[in-house]
A = this chain, B = another copy of it.
């Protein structure tokens, strides 16, 4: 039986609508993040801009905080990888440009990137940042400019700023006007996400 049989027409229409706005060619890769409220806030921001699936590598998986994630964990898939190398290979196999947030001298301003291309952004651990391995695997370091005394932003803040720059560019390019997800991927989420 098709998924719509089990839910109200209103709920079905609402889910179909948000699925029609999902951007499978935009994603994040979380490297060893370990604070639950950061991961939860990031998944929530992903939902808000239309990320379909988030990638993660972690030795200690943080629990999602329901009060911060607000249910977004039901609407954004998380795909775990055993190491950053496997994660990046997976992303490159999807023809994504893989960028890494890194406070280095080679980093370019995050607003200079073309996010209408298939793009994955690596975010680093709260205390230590992205690993050398992640930096070596990525094709470009990116940075959010700062003019204060403190050296870095909170990681969930950094993630949202980059995602919303991508949203701005993709909106201008009309990428929210036509459905990007395959019908198969829509059916999967309708079935799994529709009944949390």
Q: Is A78 part of the binding interface, using a Cβ–Cβ cutoff of 8 Å?
A: no
Q: How many subunits of this chain does the assembly comprise? A: 2
Alpha-carbon gap, A71 to B74, bound state (A): 35
B-contacting residues, A104-130, CB 8 Å: 111
Identify which of B44, B145, B168 contacts A154 (C-beta below 8 A): B44
Alpha-carbon gap, A10 to B55, bound state (A): 42
Interface size on A, residues (CB 8 A): 42
A-B contact pairs, 17 of them (CB 8 A): A15-B149, A18-B149, A21-B148, A40-B154, A44-B150, A44-B154, A47-B146, A47-B148, A47-B150, A48-B146, A48-B148, A72-B148, A75-B149, A76-B148, A111-B168, A147-B167, A160-B161
